[in-house]
Amino acid sequence: MHKILILEDDIEFAEIMSIYLKSKGYKSVHAKSIAEAVEAFNLEHFDLIISDIMLPDGFGTNFCKHIRTISKLPIIVISCLGDDTTIVEAFSNGADDYITKPLNPVQFLARVEANIRRDKEYGNYNSSSALNGENYVMFCGMKLDDIRRSITYADGTSVDLSPIEYTVLKVFLKNPGVLLLYDKLYKEVWDRDSLGDYRSIMVHVSNLKKKIDPFNSGIITNTRGAGYIYTPK
């Protein structure tokens, strides 16, 4: 049974989410503050985190940032705030998905399932399915470790990828020189239609570019209004 940590100070709303999750066989643990969430996270194993933004002892984005320093666990942010600045900040601090209130139960459960499935697929990666039959892929003078989901540079240093960054990179590696339209890339990563909202994919691609192409040499280029092209260097 998958276990989910819910960080939400609205007790009634947290109970509603717990009921939805229970209907699909998920177990949930509720924390009303960041301090409670950190304590719960340190004591138990979770498969997914759901976090509000406005909390009594800080911002959920700060909690996301903290979790990203110690774990690649998928994080869904749920908030009544739907402005671009807040959404981009959430993704930039490590969120994998973002849902605005009020909650649509069907969409909510579908996105919970998709994030857990993606994490389990790559967390238990079968090396025989890697691009070159090994548990790593060489590209542009770097090595992508499919087990640890990290990149090792030519000088031997390495950096971890978030689950979404890893998924985006694998899609690019399978489509060299191809213009990946925003819609297609979004669907490949989140397994659902974007409905014209490309903010999330743009933030994650931007974060990925900082890791694999810090000097902006053109490994990933943007065709404005269309999508991205991965060009091996």
Average pLDDT over residues 80-97: 90
- One CATH from 3.40.50.2300, 3.30.930.10, 3.30.160.270, 1.10.3210.10 for 3-123: 3.40.50.2300
Average pLDDT over residues 47-58: 96
pLDDT digits (tens, 9 = 90+) for 134-150: 578 899 999 999 888 89
pLDDT reported for residue 33: 97
10-14, 57-61, 152-156, 195-199, range with the lowest pLDDT: 195-199
Question: pLDDT band for position 44 (50/70/90)?
Answer: very high
Question: pLDDT band for position 129 (50/70/90)?
Answer: very low
Average pLDDT over residues 17-35: 97
Q: Is the pLDDT of residue 16 over 80?
A: yes
Which tokens is 32 given? 């009303």
- Domain residue spans of the chain: 3-123, 127-230
pLDDT reported for residue 106: 92
| Residue whose structure tokens are 């691609």 | 205
Give the integer Cα–Cα distance in Å for 87 and 92.
Answer: 9
CATH for 127-230?
1.10.10.10
Q: Is the pLDDT of residue 210 over 70?
A: yes
pLDDT reported for residue 147: 82
